Amino acid sequence: MIWTIASFVLFTLLVGVIVWLVTRRDKLSGSDEYFLGGRQLTAWVIAGSLILTNLSTEHLIGLNGDAFTHTVAVMAWETTAALAMVLTALYFLPRYLKRGLTTIPQFLAERYDTTTATIATLLFLFSYVIAILPVVLLFGASGLEALFNVSGNLGISDGAARWLIIWIVGTIGSLYAIFGGLRAVALSDTINGIGFLMLGLLIPALGLMAIGEGNVIEGASRLYQQETPKFDITGDEPGSFLPFSVLFTGMVVNQIFFWCANQSIMQRALGAKNLKEGQKGVLIAAGFKILGPLIIVLPGIIAFYMFKNELSPDQSMLAYPTLVKAVLPAPLEGIFAAVMVGAVLSTFNSVLNSSATLFSKNVYETVIRKNPSQKELVLSGRICSIALALGAMTIAPMIDTTGSVYNYLQTINATFFGPMLAVILAGYMTKWASPLAAKTGLIVGPFLFYLLVFAFGPETQSILKSAFNLQHDVHFLHFLAFVFVMTAIIVAVVSRFSPVTKVYEAVYSNDVDMTPWRFAKPASAIIVIVTIAVYALLAQ
């Protein structure tokens, strides 16, 4: 235990010291320096930050737990993301950088009006504080408790241990975001990302070695032969947890919004020193997303093979921690704990930094105080980060952990993703979408999804089953696609009766060198081909 604690503390301190040494001379008085790293982020820093902003303990524990209970079909959350990232690199990022945007709602303010941008900002912040931030903290606390028995070692209850870990990790993550700015966040993400990928790949390798009695290839062969149904990527068993059909409906909407228009993700690319570095960083990250299932899905299948007689489906959140404890050498436990905490910190502080950016640029500067100084903008962002961090740390211990918490996260996100993407795309792809239509879509769309999925979920399912003679519930991702389409129709109808009064003309800045990466299209083609090949190989 002493070595575990020592290695944990040393690795965590090492990350902090490196980040401090690199960023200690950074001037954070200006909004670009604080929110966008001075627009000096390079490809590998962007890629590392993108991966660690997205991948965290909700993936390590949540998706591996879902794979333990279901099949590798859950890897769709990762593999299809690579396709959306290609769209980001080739279509969305050039348009964002050309406009010199700091936030996505900034475009909505230019295209529609400031009220539309304010509504979108509040939707972003609300989804962050009730979904992403608390779920990341909860999974981190659950993982550390399962791995290291914090409650037993401290002589406190499981609930108290979870509460303690949530507040300690949340406080550390807040310090990075509040005082370090985007560059410090991105650097810590990249360093933690190296450890995350190395140890993340080590766990399934050790698991396969355990199955194959020292031989990884033999272990993989035995695992596939014994658990062949688990490797069906189509997920088309009756009542599927993630049916193949959703890949062509709600999954498309989810991935395009998350990877092309979500502030917490796009902010890393918006801080690129030029378009070349931005495209390269996004596509490097897309390549890693294809490898992601080796870390966040395969261990769940290995755990099922090894512990299916010990863990019930209701204990799926213990699948990954149990595997780690069984195969990881004791000297590496502390480093693994530090990497796990680093993954939590990376997502937590990245989302906080994005939240600060959204609030400062789209609420404080436009609604609360016109023409604020740069210092006032940074201060307002820090205050917003503190408020959201406290809210997330308060909510996290109260989340119900029965069932799939990862599905809970995605369902909450879906409430906002469809309507926001419909309004953003209408702004980019049409000249007739009006400000009133955009505001109506942003308000009615989430309300419609809430009614269909949450308020009257059972009644909605009953009506659909009866009308279409269905045996199982309609997946929430299908509702996401439906609400996306309905929001687009609402925007079109309202625009017909309340048309635009002034045709929007894009304003371009000269903040960023717009020379594209010459290998962007070939790299994108390779990513698309490999992604399709993965599905072709694993389809049963």
Query: Could you tell me if residue 396 is inside a domain?
Result: yes
Query: Could you tell me if residue 509 is inside a domain?
Result: no
CA atoms within 13 A on the CB side of 392: 34
**Predicted pLDDT of residue 23:** 60
For 34, 108, 120, 287, 360, the CA distances from 365, given in Å and listed in that order, are 15, 15, 15, 37, 6
**Predicted pLDDT of residue 403:** 62
Query: Could you tell me if residue 141 is inside a domain?
Result: yes
**Predicted pLDDT of residue 41:** 81
Query: Could you tell me if residue 472 is inside a domain?
Result: no
**Predicted pLDDT of residue 540:** 64
Alpha-carbon gap, residue 524 to 243, rounded angstroms: 26
**What's the pLDDT tens digit per position in 342-368?**
777 777 877 887 888 888 888 888 888
**Predicted pLDDT of residue 440:** 97
**Predicted pLDDT of residue 236:** 64
Give 274's strand partners: 513
**Predicted pLDDT of residue 1:** 58
CA atoms within 13 A on the CB side of 518: 0
pTM value?
0.88
Instruction: Find, among 16, 6, 33, 47, the residue nearest to 357 by Cα.
Output: 33
Query: Could you tell me if residue 427 is inside a domain?
Result: no
Q: CA 483, 488, 494: angle at the middle one, nearest 5?
A: 120
**Predicted pLDDT of residue 316:** 87
Residues present in the chain in total? 540
Query: Could you tell me if residue 197 is inside a domain?
Result: yes
Query: Could you tell me if residue 374 is inside a domain?
Result: yes
CATH number at residue 157: 1.20.1730.10
Stretches where the chain sits below pLDDT 70 are: 1-5, 7-8, 11-12, 16, 19-20, 22-38, 176-189, 236-240, 401-405, 540
CA atoms within 13 A on the CB side of 504: 22
What are the tokens at 161? 């241990």
Query: Could you tell me if residue 423 is inside a domain?
Result: no
Q: Residue type at 142?
A: S
What are the tokens at 109? 């303010």
Q: What residues have CB less than 8 Å from 211, skipping those under 6 apart? A: 218, 219, 222, 223, 302, 305, 306
**Predicted pLDDT of residue 416:** 94
Q: Where are the alpha helices (DSSP H) in 88-236?
A: 93-99, 104-111, 114-127, 133-148, 150-154, 158-211, 216-226
**What's the pLDDT tens digit per position in 247-301?**
999 999 999 999 999 988 888 788 888 999 999 999 999 999 998 899 999 999 9
Alpha-carbon gap, residue 356 to 121, rounded angstroms: 11
Alpha-carbon gap, residue 328 to 305, rounded angstroms: 17
Structural domain boundaries enclosing 262: 2-401
Instruction: Find, among 176, 181, 173, 178, the residue nearest to 27 by Cα.
Output: 181
Domain tally for the chain? 1
Alpha-carbon gap, residue 42 to 52, rounded angstroms: 16
**Predicted pLDDT of residue 3:** 61
